[in-house]
Amino acid sequence: MKSKIVQLDALIKIREMAKREGKKVVFTNGCFDILHRGHITYLEEAKKLGDILIVGLNSDNSVKKIKGGKRPVVPESDRAFVLSALACVDYVCIFDQETPAELIKKIVPDVLVKGGDWAEENIVGRDTVEKSGGEVFTIPEVEGKSTQHIIQTIIERYCRDR
């Protein structure tokens, strides 16, 4: 079985083939540091918007720049492996920049998806997708399900008694 974790050059070829076959490509991105119910619900909903779901995964360096030096908790190779094991995810591509703008410009997905915590006008890649006739969607967050909430729970349960 081929790996779902692909480099950009392979992803470009996958995108070209999908276009020839008339398949709708959905793209989303994120850190997906500690995978939880909110992530799974989000990814399953994103998959419903097309035929192929590509997840751009922030590299460890990228996550550190965005979230600070204590993150990620889970290394990029493990995060990519776990994401690729999900039935709703077709491909995972790790990127090193702080935003997926260049990745989006190179694959030009039909649908761009972000979580409901993003204002549509602030979604990176929106212009690229809309100029090509694509659509941009936000998917509501699952209340109380976040990586930060999990980290806070761990701190409260295991670090406060020391």
CATH number of the domain residue 77 falls in: 3.40.50.620
Instruction: Name the strands in the sheet holding 52-58, side by side, starting at the edge strand that comes first in the sequence.
Output: 91-95, 52-58, 25-30, 111-115, 135-139
Q: Is residue 36 part of a domain?
A: yes
Q: Is residue 3 part of a domain?
A: no
Indicate the number of domains in the chain: 1
Q: Is residue 89 part of a domain?
A: yes
pTM of the predicted model as reported, rounded to 2 decimal places: 0.92
Q: Could you read off the pLDDT of 109-119 as tens digits, one per residue?
A: 999 999 888 78
Q: Could you read off the pLDDT of 69-100 as tens digits, one per residue?
A: 888 999 999 999 999 999 999 999 999 999 99
31 closest CA partner among 62, 54, 9, 69: 62
pLDDT on residue 24: 98
Q: Is residue 1 part of a domain?
A: no
Q: Is residue 116 part of a domain?
A: yes
Q: Is residue 2 part of a domain?
A: no
For 73, the domain range is 8-158
127 pLDDT exceeds 70? yes
Mean pLDDT of 130-150: 87
Mean pLDDT of 133-153: 85
44 pLDDT exceeds 90? yes
Strand partners, 137: 113
Q: Is residue 109 part of a domain?
A: yes
